[in-house]
Amino acid sequence: MDKSKFEEVKTGVQLIIDLIAEKNAKEAGNKLVEVSEELDELLDFAEEDEDLMEVSRYQVLLNQLHQKIVGLNGQSTSSN
């Protein structure tokens, strides 16, 4: 599989992390959905075990980031 596809996911994940750091839960959530869709597409076309493992790593990371975003949403409602 083309490694540049994973670079796009990596860049998206970094943007999500940056948005979380800025406490911008809405934009982080939107970007997470976008990156998740890219990852699902990569999974559909993954043929090698190495690619499947890479997709799996990103899925775990996105799940952890989702939990952080959910936590931010809880904080933002109490501070508004």
pTM across the whole model: 0.87
Annotated domain spans of the chain: 3-68
What is the band of 79 on the pLDDT scale with cuts at 50, 70, 90?
Answer: very low
pLDDT of amino acid 75: 74
Give the tens place of pLDDT for each residue, 24-74: 999 999 999 999 999 999 999 999 999 999 999 999 999 999 999 999 988
Instruction: Provide the H-helix boundaries in the chain.
Output: 3-21, 25-45, 49-79
Q: Which residues contact 46 (CB under 8 A, 6 or more apart)?
A: 1, 52, 55
Comparing C-alpha atoms, which of 15, 44, 42, 41 is closest to residue 28?
15
**How many residues comprise the chain?**
80
- The amino acid occupying position 55 is V
Q: Greater confidence, 4 or 40?
A: 40
